[in-house]
Amino acid sequence: MDESFFQCIPNVSEGRRTEVVAAFVEAIRDVPGAHLLDYSSDRDHHRSVFTLVGKALPLRKAILAMYEVAGRHLNLARHSGAHPRIGAVDVVPFVPLHNTPMQAACALALEVAQAVTERFEVPIYLYEECARIPERRSLAWLRRGGLEALEAEISTPLRRPDLGPARLHPLLGASVIGARKPLLAFNVLLDTEDVEVARAIAHRVRERGGGLSNLRALGIFLAERGRAQVSMNLVDPERTPWYLALEMVRMEARRFGTRILSTEVIGMPPLSVVAEAAAYYMQWEGFSLDRILEHHLLRIARDEALDGVAARAPGQEWPGNQDPGQKEEA
């Protein structure tokens, strides 16, 4: 029995119409086995991020259902938001969980990408661990120049899609699909209206500007709040701690005569990342996850579940996995 388990974090270019976001939520929840853990929307970014977990087949069905909703409600040509994007369903990363190998996540990403381009004729770029060209590991590289540049260059050898037609879909644009390790997406709101300050801070803290390794950062103005924001992705939070990125932004903000008002986490970070940041600010000596009660409770629950699997007779179906008479789609 395949025990592979995945997280999927689709990013959709819609953050203002609550009824459309609700349509995405409903489409996901209609798929048995696709568990929607969290979703959030931002009007300034004009973007929504969904966090799903499950096995391969339910996640595949859920993502295709999201494209169906996007095709009915979204038109990328009319989209304007602070966040970079090249597609209505802009990015679809798969993250292997528990002991699932990365190659299984890549196989799922490729299967979904092929289904999307066959059913919806959306050009697909494969990124991160699934990239076929080294430069395409980077999401920023794929988005460079924005939608306008991609439209002009999509038929050139350098920017031809990995799958699908060498032209943008008139409503949905293009999509980036792949597999990656867990990352931490978080934003820092600054006590200034000057977006140039946020851009300067982003340049100083990100890896490309000589700052922290594994850190991507942008400076953005949020019209709804009247404040500038540093929007960041820590692509490997195990190597570059969350608190280190935050404190570097704080230090640079002081240089520009401003301060941090608040922070915002997008999606659901791993417990280890949150615990490490908490331990840093608590100045907790000798900290490890073994000091967290829930860490042990989860381990015990997992061990007991595995004991239950081992006790089943060969071929016996796990209760609740499948409704009577229900068949999986190919």
Q: Mind listing the pLDDT tens digit of every residue in the chain (330 residues)?
A: 577 999 999 999 999 999 999 999 999 999 999 999 999 999 999 999 999 999 999 999 999 999 999 999 999 989 988 889 999 999 999 999 988 999 999 999 999 999 999 999 999 999 999 999 999 999 999 999 989 899 999 999 999 999 999 999 999 999 999 999 999 999 999 999 999 999 999 999 999 999 999 999 999 999 999 999 999 999 999 999 999 999 999 999 999 999 999 999 999 998 889 999 999 999 999 888 888 898 888 888 878 876 664 554 444 443 333 333 333 333
According to the model, what pLDDT value does residue 307 have? 64
- As given in the structure block, the two tokens for residue 184 are 């931490």
Residue 199 included in any domain: yes
Running DSSP on this structure, what letter comes out for residue 88?
S
191 and 119 in a common domain: no
Domain ends where: 249, 270, 291? 270
| Catalytic residue flag (residue 83) | yes
201 and 161 in a common domain: no
- As given in the structure block, the two tokens for residue 229 are 């924001």
158 and 83 in a common domain: yes
Residue 204 included in any domain: yes
204 and 172 in a common domain: no
Q: Beta 89-96 vs 175-179: how paired, if at all?
A: parallel
Residue 191 included in any domain: yes
Residue 297 included in any domain: no
Residue 27 included in any domain: yes
99 and 213 in a common domain: no
According to the model, what pLDDT value does residue 298 have? 83
For the beta carbon of residue 210, count every other beta carbon within 10 angstroms. 9
Q: Which of 83, 98, 169, 295 is catalytic?
A: 83
- The C-alpha atoms of residue 272 and residue 184 are separated, in whole angstroms, by 11
- The C-alpha atoms of residue 75 and residue 82 are separated, in whole angstroms, by 16
Running DSSP on this structure, what letter comes out for residue 171?
T
CA proximity to 123, closest of 84, 162, 159, 155:
162
192 and 130 in a common domain: no
- The C-alpha atoms of residue 112 and residue 114 are separated, in whole angstroms, by 5
According to the model, what pLDDT value does residue 330 have? 34
Running DSSP on this structure, what letter comes out for residue 33?
T
According to the model, what pLDDT value does residue 321 have? 39
- As given in the structure block, the two tokens for residue 75 are 């038109």
- As given in the structure block, the two tokens for residue 281 are 């600010």
* Non-local CB neighbours of 292 within 8 Å, separated by 6+ positions: 271, 275
Residue 306 included in any domain: no
Q: Beta 227-234 vs 124-128: how paired, if at all?
A: unpaired
DSSP 238-295: TTS-HHHHHHHHHHHHHHTT--EEEEEEES---HHHHHHHHHHHHT-TT--GGG-HHH
Domain count, the chain: 2
Are 137 and 216 in contact, with CB atoms under 8 Å apart? no
- As given in the structure block, the two tokens for residue 137 are 């590991």
- As given in the structure block, the two tokens for residue 122 are 């959306």
- The C-alpha atoms of residue 81 and residue 78 are separated, in whole angstroms, by 10
Query: Is the Cα torsion angle 191, 192, 193, 197 positive or negative in sign?
Result: negative
211 and 86 in a common domain: no
68 and 192 in a common domain: no
Domain span at residue 247? 184-270
pTM (predicted TM-score): 0.86
13 and 160 in a common domain: yes
Domain ends where: 160, 179, 198? 179
- The C-alpha atoms of residue 196 and residue 192 are separated, in whole angstroms, by 10
End-to-end CA distance of the chain: 17
Residue 53 included in any domain: yes
The CATH number given to whatever domain includes residue 34 is 3.30.990.10
Domain ends where: 251, 270, 289? 270
Residue 284 included in any domain: no
Residue the block writes with tokens 């060498």: 166
The CATH number given to whatever domain includes residue 213 is 3.30.70.670
- As given in the structure block, the two tokens for residue 147 are 């939608």
114 and 20 in a common domain: yes
192 and 173 in a common domain: no
150 and 196 in a common domain: no
According to the model, what pLDDT value does residue 13 have? 97
Tally DSSP H helices, then E strands, for the chain. Answer: 9, 11
Running DSSP on this structure, what letter comes out for residue 87?
B
Question: Residues in the chain, how many?
Answer: 330
According to the model, what pLDDT value does residue 318 have? 36
- The C-alpha atoms of residue 219 and residue 65 are separated, in whole angstroms, by 33
